[in-house]
Structure formats: structure tokens, C-alpha cells
Amino acid sequence: MTMPDDVLAYNRQLIATFRADGGASLGDRPLLLLTTRGRRSGEPRTSPIMYVRADGRLFVVASNAGAAEDPQWYRNLLADPAVTVELPGETFPARATPLSGEDYERQWARITGQHAFFIEHQQRAGGRRIPIVELHRA
């Protein structure tokens, strides 16, 4: 996937479209809006993120398209794991929990088996281990 030149402008438009039509225009694209609290500003920050459901659990992957650094939304939820999740047709408060250990390994294998582009992201990320975060309905 090629990233647009102005990612912030692209994300703002995607968020507006998602909220205007409840995600209907996304078709089969599994996208949610994740609102975190800025770790320095304290202001709400909303990011459109692909999600994965498995065994009744909801996950997001902090791949940052393979960048060497974690995405800002991930850094924010580490500072404050209370987040808001917007899915098509529902909005709810949640608690964000990064996976670790065997659970991480199992979910990483499942997610990369379904979405091979995450393997490419991991290769581009160098030594950074791409986090997987579970979103627990609060």
C-alpha cells in the first residue's frame, strides 16, 4: 500500500467519511476509529486503524506501515489505556492492552497468516517488534 503524501489530511478525510456514513463506504475494509488521549497535550486524538477479530476478541496492529518507530496512537494508549472505539454502527469505551508472550506469538501468526503485508511491515521496521493491542469493551 502506498502512503499518501499528506497522511494527516488523508486520515482526517477518512475519519469524516466514516462518521458521515457509518463506515458504509468502506465496503469490506475492516476499519475502526480509535480515540486516545494525547500523552503530552491531553487532547483526544482519533486514528483510523485496520482491526482484526479472532475468537471474540478485537485487535489492532501498531505496524505504522513498517516505520522504525511506534505510531503515536500506540504511544498515547501506553500512557493512558482508556480509549474510545468507533466501529460501523457502534461506539464504546474500551481498555487497550498490548499482547505479550505466547498470546502475542499466537495472534501474530494468525494475523500475518490472514494479512501477509504485516510481514513486510515487520521487515521494514528493522528491530522494532510490531505491537498487537487488544481492545476490551469497558
User: What's 15's domain CATH number?
Assistant: 2.30.110.10
Beta bridge partners of 92: 85
Task: Establish if 20 belongs to a structural domain.
Answer: yes
pTM of the model: 0.91
What's the pLDDT at 83?
A: 98
pLDDT in tens, 35-61: 999 999 999 999 999 999 998 999 999
The C-alpha cell that represents 77 in the structure block: 494508549
Structural domain boundaries, residue 40: 7-137
Q: Is residue 1 part of a domain?
A: no
For residue 37, being part of any structural domain is answered with yes
| DSSP for residue 62 | -
Rounded to the nearest integer, the mean pLDDT of the chain is: 93
Instruction: Note whether residue 112 is domain-resident.
Output: yes
Task: Please report, for the chain, how many H helices and E strands are present, in that order.
Answer: 4, 6
40 in a structural domain: yes
pLDDT, tens digit, for every residue of 16-40? 999 998 888 777 779 999 999 999 9
Cα distance between residue 117 and residue 2, in whole Å: 12
Number of compact structural domains in the chain: 1
β-strand partners of 133: 60, 98
Answer whether residue 38 is part of any domain: yes
Q: What pLDDT does residue 25 have?
A: 76
Q: Which residues of 86-99 are buried (b: 16+ CB within 10 A; e: fewer)?
A: bbeeeeeebebeeb
In a domain, 61, yes or no: yes
Please name the residues in contact with 2: beta carbons below 8 A apart, sequence gap of 6 or more: none
**Interatomic CA distance for residues 112 and 13, integer angstroms:** 28
Residue 70 lies in a domain: yes
pLDDT of residue 1: 46
pLDDT of 5 reads 63
DSSP assigned state of 124? H
Each residue's pLDDT tens digit, 80-118: 999 999 998 899 999 999 999 999 999 999 999 999 999
CA nearest to 88, candidates 44, 25, 138, 134: 25
Answer for the pair 18, 33: CB distance below 8 angstroms, yes or no.
yes
